[in-house]
Amino acid sequence: METLGKLAKKTFVQHRARPAVKDVRGTMTFDQLRKEACQLGHALLEAGLEKGDRVALLMSNRKEHVVFDMAIALTGLIKVPINYRLHPKELTYIVKNAEASILFGEGDLIETIDLPIQKIDIDKAYPDFISGKRESFPEVEVGEDDVFALMYTSGTTGNPKGAMLTHRNMLAGALSLNMVCEITYGDTIGHVAPLTHGSNFLSQCALFFGLKQVIFNNFDPEQFLDDIHRENISIIFMVPTLVNLMIHAKNFDPEKLQSIKSINMAGAPMAVEKIKKALGILGPKLAETYGLVEAPMVITMMPKKKLSERLDSCGAIGPFVDVKIVDENGREVATGEIGEIACKGSLVMKGYWRNEKATNESIKDGWFHTGDIGWRDEQGYVRLIDRAKDTIITGGLNVYPREVEEVLNQHPAVKETCVFGVPDEKWGESIRAHIVLTDPSLYVEKDELIALCKEHLASYKKPRFIEIVEELPKSSYGKILRKALREKFKRQEMKE
């Protein structure tokens, strides 16, 4: 398999005059991208960095993300993309844990990092940093198993861990996305989700076809539709929360999405009823994938033409990964039985950065244990049930929050919901649901929602408590934070 750098060199030659990347400040051709990436690469090497050293990036969505990807790919350095919406303490932890040699980003962001590290303001100091540097390709030998990026996990169960993603991992993910999103020559890739996370994997797809990428820094549902229409975007990555916000926008006009060929929907499961609604409004534009930071984007893939046939599935197994469902002892279970999803292959990370213990706990006999619970049918399609750590045990029986959420989401007044377990002296845990309505002015009887659950689920799976809320806590990537709700409930209980 090639490296990102080798692929980039071919793309630069074949598509030199074509537009490569655009943001609000302007457009770069592939030849301009080549020149700046090479200048940046030489500047980093002349600053004393060597192959394998870490370069931390703390900046909003902007075209420099693509420039850094190319420079990193050509020099054998390792990028550390950081979500700028994190707390300064979390940001500092990641920069320190990665042992980064240099930090680039907007001035107000990088100044929050209280560490003795060279900081380069991307707006003020960066132009001088690369000025006058050579425009030739850096002469560094880079292999497919060399680490390209440290992508940090969300840290929901402790400090974030840096997943070591190699060039092989990145290309396996990009090739898989090319397939499921049906990407080809002439497409235009849009980025509205953070380029420090899921959307970055879609960015690598552009190299295979010499595609233009258009980068948006903020998501406003109505403005977003105008942007898509104006820029003729055909491929884009969106988490389910953004899809939901878009189709519920006050002045939503599906005609403005005529250019869209595929929306790669990933990052969190979307309720079946919400997928039905989205498909009814958008038509067959949603291509769903399931993956993790440690096995990015495409453990499974559901092409847009098949999604309506299997709404409850996250797809069939991707081309660069093997999957099995295992019990608590790591033994593979029979088809149709529930267990933990494990995977191995070119998509799976090398391990966790400087964390042998976590690596050995997660990767056993070459299989990465995802912590996700699911099952596989006879056709090989995977059903994702829930995170193992989110399983509610009530009266000795397992309840998966997502199965309760799926039922609650069937109610026409329910916009989104989060189910979680709370301590119960009698049953060990009882089930609690927090629900956001489609319209705050609506009123729904809680007994009506509980009755809906009783109609579709075993009695012990129905929520004992339902609370109607204005909003649910979400990460900066749009994921509902179940853990935050549990912890908030515990704090309230302690006060009482």
What is the secondary structure of 33-77 as a DSSP string?
HHHHHHHHHHHHHHTT--TT-EEEEE--S-THHHHHHHHHHHHT-
Confirm if 342 and 324 have CB atoms less than 8 A apart: yes
Query: 74 and 149 share a domain?
Result: yes
**Side-chain half-sphere of 207: how many Cα atoms within 13 Å?**
26
Q: Is residue 425 very low, low, confident or very high in pLDDT (cuts 50, 70, 90)?
A: confident
Query: 373 and 398 share a domain?
Result: no
Confirm if 61 and 215 have CB atoms less than 8 A apart: yes
Question: Between helices 30-46 and 4-14, what is the axis angle to 10°?
Answer: 140
The pLDDT of 207-211, averaged and rounded, is: 98
- Amino acid (one-letter) located at 373: I
The DSSP H or E segment spanning 416 is: strand 414-424
Whether 362 shows a pLDDT value over 60: the answer reads yes
Domain residue limits at 89: 4-382
pLDDT number for residue 267: 78
Which residue, 382, 412, 428, sits at the end of a domain?
Answer: 382
Looking at residue 18, the DSSP 8-state letter turns out to be: S
Total domains in the chain come to 2
pLDDT number for residue 157: 53
Q: How far is CA 184 from CA 17, 18, 233, 264, 348, in A?
A: 18, 15, 13, 15, 25
Query: 319 and 464 share a domain?
Result: no
Which residue, 347, 382, 417, sits at the end of a domain?
Answer: 382
pLDDT number for residue 430: 92
The pLDDT of 436-459, averaged and rounded, is: 91
| Lowest-pLDDT choice from 80-89, 125-134, 264-273, 452-461 | 264-273
| Lowest-pLDDT choice from 210-219, 255-264, 386-395 | 386-395
pLDDT per residue as tens digits for the range 109-147: 999 999 999 999 999 999 999 999 999 999 999 999 999
Query: 129 and 163 share a domain?
Result: yes
Which residue, 344, 360, 382, sits at the end of a domain?
Answer: 382
Pairing between strand 147-152 and 162-166?
A: antiparallel
pLDDT number for residue 42: 98
Query: 450 and 321 share a domain?
Result: no
Whether 379 shows a pLDDT value over 90: the answer reads yes
Q: Report d(CA 247, CA 257) in Å as an integer.
A: 11
The pLDDT of 56-76, averaged and rounded, is: 98
Specify the CATH number for the domain of residue 441.
3.30.300.30
pLDDT number for residue 244: 86
* Mean of per-residue pLDDT scores for the chain: 93
Q: Is residue 242 very low, low, confident or very high in pLDDT (cuts 50, 70, 90)?
A: confident
Whether 296 shows a pLDDT value over 60: the answer reads yes
pLDDT number for residue 158: 67
Pairing between strand 162-166 and 102-105?
A: unpaired
